[in-house]
Structure 1
């Protein structure tokens, strides 16, 4: 089972989940000599692969680079998958990317379009933000004040999401799968404050409303899972308790 973006925050978890199923992971990443944006090394990486989980990602605050990345990466991955006879392509997407007009989400929409119209049987799995998301927002701030986007979400444990993705990948293609979320709704700034308390830090968290149309879409619940969502069990408090202070 190949994991695109297998060295990233989610991808590493997926690689571990593949091993927990006694399957053999094949990591697709630049550090492994494979470049999704050019296609270099993909044919060799996918030789003999049964299923691909695409957890690739790009840090992009504007729509144009996000769309360009997913256009290139997804296109190359699907084309190489067809040549290799891949049975199942699983794309990791984001709950709300089809109804919230954040710039990065426009890239995810392009990814989904390519997967839906592509040559490899597919499943798209949309997840809410991970429990790690609040910490990632804190890492972007330096000094005594952290600016964190004011977002209502229903965050999910990345490790449990990884196990879910592998279970989906070994099964038959589903098309658009049910949304995946955690058991509780939270404001992301509140999670950031609880994480800081867990770490014994006094950084002040300031909730920053998202501007414009996207902000209104988020405020209206655009990032919450739809009906029939798959709810994974770990709460944010349980996730905090499982992580050492640091």
Structure 2
């Protein structure tokens, strides 16, 4: 089967493409570097010719509210229009758990992307994932103030990129859900405790403090705003295993 992976050279895309190729599928790793641009539409028609599935993992180069909204709306419209013309049978998109429960610009942009998909008429599955373990360093840095890192105590359930890619590949090869699937890491704990474990593991001298007013992407974190409320597929890689196996733990 021919599968187009938009954002196929990124963190999740490269891992997903490798899994699908190992399964014997023809994979087009679409990115501006390969001449396929979802903002301009360049190369989309050619990439999708003969494909059955498109996996959209594109991400905005900027997290500024207006820019990220324009990115996901423009990219989404161009991708879905090209899919309709090509007769794509399954559109798979990666989104975020809690994207409709948190008030920040990036999450609002993902909601807009989801609405475009749902209204497109193309069979689809939206995968909402919790935050990736690979982003813990950036999250800690964003909360740093002097010697302290201020992090909300809201619940957090990070997932390893390898588990995200495995779930994306599985969904892509299954029948469209025409709905949402949620995935999360195997361990749930307060956000500040997870970040504290990361900071300790990498030898960062910052002290992580619990701050209920600390923001995430500019939005307030409530107790359950970043974790699944219902059934979710859980990854197999726990935080300690990931820390041991990643560069973060060395």
TM-score of the pair, normalised by structure 1: 0.88
Q: Which residue of 1 aligns with 2:215?
A: 210
Q: 1:138 deviation in Å?
A: 4.1
- 2:41 is paired with a residue whose SS is coil
Q: Which residue of 1 aligns with 2:180?
A: 177
Q: Which residue of 1 aligns with 2:116?
A: 114
Q: Is the 8 A contact 1:179 1:226 kept in 2?
A: no
Pair 1:196–1:121, CA change in 2 (3 A): same
Q: Is the 8 A contact 1:60 1:104 kept in 2?
A: no
Q: Is the 8 A contact 2:149 2:206 kept in 1?
A: no
- 2:29 is paired with a residue whose SS is strand
Q: How far apart, CA to CA, are the structure 2 residues paired with 1:47 and 1:101?
A: 38
Structure 2 unaligned blocks of 5 or more: none
1:96-245 aligned within 5 A: 96-138=98-140, 145=147, 147=149, 149-150=151-152, 151-205=154-208, 209-210=214-215, 214-215=219-220, 218-244=221-247, 245=249
Q: 1:103 deviation in Å?
A: 1.0
Q: Is the 8 A contact 2:141 2:149 kept in 1?
A: no
Q: Which residue of 1 aligns with 2:37?
A: 35
Cα deviation digits, residues 125-169 of structure 1 (max 9, x gap): 111111112123246589974646425321112111111111111
Q: Is the 8 A contact 1:155 1:186 kept in 2?
A: no
Q: How far apart, CA to CA, are the structure 2 residues paired with 1:173 and 1:201?
A: 43
Q: Which residue of 2 aligns with 1:17?
A: 19
Q: 1:228 deviation in Å?
A: 1.7
Q: How far apart, CA to CA, are the structure 2 residues paired with 1:35 and 1:43?
A: 11
Q: Which residue of 2 aligns with 1:46?
A: 48
Pair 1:15–1:188, CA change in 2 (3 A): farther
Q: How far apart, CA to CA, are the structure 1 residues paired with 2:149 and 2:32?
A: 32
Pair 1:149–1:111, CA change in 2 (3 A): farther
Q: 1:22 deviation in Å?
A: 2.5
Question: Which range moved further: 1-10 or 120-129?
Answer: 1-10
Structure 1 unaligned blocks of 5 or more: none
Question: Which range moved further: 40-49 or 8-17?
Answer: 8-17
Pair 1:23–1:143, CA change in 2 (3 A): farther
Q: Is the 8 A contact 1:79 1:119 kept in 2?
A: no
Q: How far apart, CA to CA, are the structure 2 residues paired with 1:195 and 1:24?
A: 37
Pair 1:147–1:201, CA change in 2 (3 A): closer
TM-score of the pair, normalised by structure 2: 0.87
Q: How far apart, CA to CA, are the structure 2 residues paired with 1:229 and 1:184?
A: 12
